[in-house]
Amino acid sequence: MATKTLISSDEYLRTSFEDPEPDYVEGEVVERPVPNYLHSRTQVRLSDVFKPWEDRRQLFRSSEIRLRVAADRFRVTDFAVFASEQTELIPVDPPYAVVEIVSPGDRFEDLMTKLADYEQAGVEFVFVADPPVRRLSRYHRGDLFTVAALELPGYQAVIPVDSIFGKNLNA
C-alpha cells in the first residue's frame, strides 16, 4: 500500500500546481480528473449566460478557484457565482451557487462528498452538470434532483439546460 504524503494547508495554498488544480482534504492533495472538451465548453457557456448579471453588478462569476469549505478542506470549483465581488485570493464568503461539471474519471462517491462540502460551507445552490447526457441536477441535503433549468430565485435567474449545454442537435 502506498504511503500518502501529507502537507499543511498553508503549504497547499503557497503551492502552484499543474492543471488541473487539486483539492486539499485533511492534509492530502487530491488530484482532480483532467477535464475534456465538453467540460471546458460547459464552463464557457455558464460564464457567458451569467455575464448579464455581472454586468449589472448582481452576481460575480468565477471558475477554478480554491474555496475553503472546512478548516482542513479546500475544494476547487468548476464554476461559481458570488453575491458580492470577492477581493481575497481565497474568498471569505461562500459562493451563492456552485456548478460542478462531471468529467471522465469522476467517481460518484467523491462527487457527492464534494457537493456536501459545498453545502456545509454555506453555498445556497449546488448543481451538477453532466455534459455527455445533457443533465443538470440540483444537490440538496444529500440528494440529487434532475432539473430543467438552473434557477437562482433571488436574482430572477432561470438558465435552461439548452443554454448550458447548447442546442441538442440530435433531438
Nine cell digits for residue 133: 447526457
**4 lies in some domain:** no
pTM above 0.85, yes or no: yes
**14 lies in some domain:** no
Most confident of 5-9, 127-131, 155-159: 127-131
42-101 pLDDT, tens digit per residue, is 999 999 999 999 999 999 999 999 999 999 999 999 999 999 999 898 998 999 999 999
- C-alpha span between 106 and 32 (Å, rounded): 8
Tally of domains in the chain: 1
**70 lies in some domain:** yes
**74 lies in some domain:** yes
Structural domain containing residue 112: 35-165
Angle made by CA atoms 109, 122, 7, in degrees to the nearest 5: 60
Mean pLDDT of the region 13-42: 91
**17 lies in some domain:** no
- C-alpha span between 134 and 44 (Å, rounded): 15
What CATH number is attached to the domain comprising 135?
3.90.1570.10
**1 lies in some domain:** no
Angstrom CA distances, 9 to 6, 14, 68, stand at 10, 9, 10
